[in-house]
Structure 1
């Protein structure tokens, strides 16, 4: 699994992840800071959050290679445990799009996007109610007629209603 950090400053590769423990195996990380290339290769790693809220990646049993691309002055460091602080993520407020607007704001707003979102929010539960009510007459089977007419009619009604709703 590959992952890239903000602005491409760091690229991570993880071979396997244990979802129960959160430990990753065979980790590769490349970072570029001020033109200096840094590579970290580790047998395993994990994510740790400190009590003060700072977040760290902890790599175990690996090596770090540092240097400038094109030059031969690379430095190799072998480590048992390597802590790397993650940049704090700025918390943006909640999203303020029309899809996240509360119902009372949608009722007060007269713009077409607000009306469309209101129609969508009301239309989906109404479609479930209509299909439940229509199931009663459509489930009647005439023994002399084909059995699939009710099913075909129900599917046609659903598709027409859903397309009109969209």
Structure 2
């Protein structure tokens, strides 16, 4: 029991450290992408935390298998270098028992990755996409940055110099719109106002920007004549009722929905989700013989080949998933031959590393 706790602690401690570093790198990259979208006015900065939280399960399901694979390589590799594994084997601890010990923390990781892959990741991806599409479908004060021209699509550009203290009214507003007259002639409408505030029509649900004390200019390309209109109050419709995003992609579908669908794309996505937890015990079987090292080789001697092996595993799974979705590979065959091949490779490695018994002469 002491040996079991010691080896489990070494594996899990190393896994947490490796996963933390990888998660920091990937989340930092995604945060920079989201922050760029915030700077462009696609959605307010207040949504950053929520979006990162929704994306966390997708990061975990990809990082934990790799982190656990590297954890076994590093933890057991260090034990080999310190001759601790040699002492354990001299005391009767066989390689098969070391494998059984490693499979216990692997079971914990399988449960976590399975929960992320089968449930949390599709739900989080769907919620984040709905949140972004709802925010991009409307113009809100929270998405405006004072002192900057921001494009909101459909030829609408908005500028405001500043907000009041409670962020409910804009000051010195400029709006440029590209639209067409009744006869189809294109025109550019430029509106300037001293202030503006946002309101919603309770009957239709449409959102309006109400401008106060300003002028409105209508210019037709190719003509030297411009129409000028002074107003005390002028309303500009920003958007109609926001519609719920239609996310039909299998990536965002729930696992029961994929099972009920039965299409090639759904089966490809379902097998991919099942592959994430399934590959962990297979990687455990491969990592144990690869972790064996001697002081001359060093702790990281087999780290690079092992990472290359993991990349090949993931690349083959992704290629097979794409082939199933395109109809180039039967869903019945699916991703299972890849798992079987790596399982056989792991069994071969363990058999190769098993010490041979000497016959008595």
Deviates most, 117-126 or 66-75: 66-75
Bigger relative contact order, structure 1 or 2 (CA pairs below 8 A, ≥6 apart): 2
**Partners of 2:161 and 2:298 in 1: CA distance:** 54
- Corresponding position of 2:309: 157
The correspondence for 2:264, drawn from 109, 112, 115, is 112
Larger Rg: 2
Aligned pair in 2 of structure 1 residues 107, 47: CA closer, same or farther (>3 Å)? same
Aligned pair in 2 of structure 1 residues 126, 85: CA closer, same or farther (>3 Å)? same
TM alignment of 1:120-159, pairs within 5 A: 120-127=272-279, 129-130=280-281, 133=284, 137=288, 141-159=293-311
Deviates most, 116-125 or 41-50: 41-50
The correspondence for 2:253, drawn from 84, 101, 125, is 101
More strand by share: 1
TM-score normalised by length of structure 1: 0.65
More helix by share: 2
TM-score normalised by length of structure 2: 0.35
TM alignment of 1:6-155, pairs within 5 A: 10-14=155-159, 21=167, 27-34=174-181, 35=185, 36-42=187-193, 47-52=198-203, 53-59=205-211, 62-69=214-221, 70-77=223-230, 82-89=234-241, 91=243, 94-127=246-279, 129-130=280-281, 133=284, 137=288, 141-155=293-307
Measured on the aligned residues, the alpha-carbon RMSD in Å equals 3.9
Deviates most, 89-98 or 104-113: 89-98
- Confirm or deny: 8 A CA contact 2:212 2:231 kept in the other structure: no
Deviates most, 47-56 or 143-152: 47-56
**Partners of 1:141 and 1:22 in 2: CA distance:** 66
- Corresponding position of 2:339: none
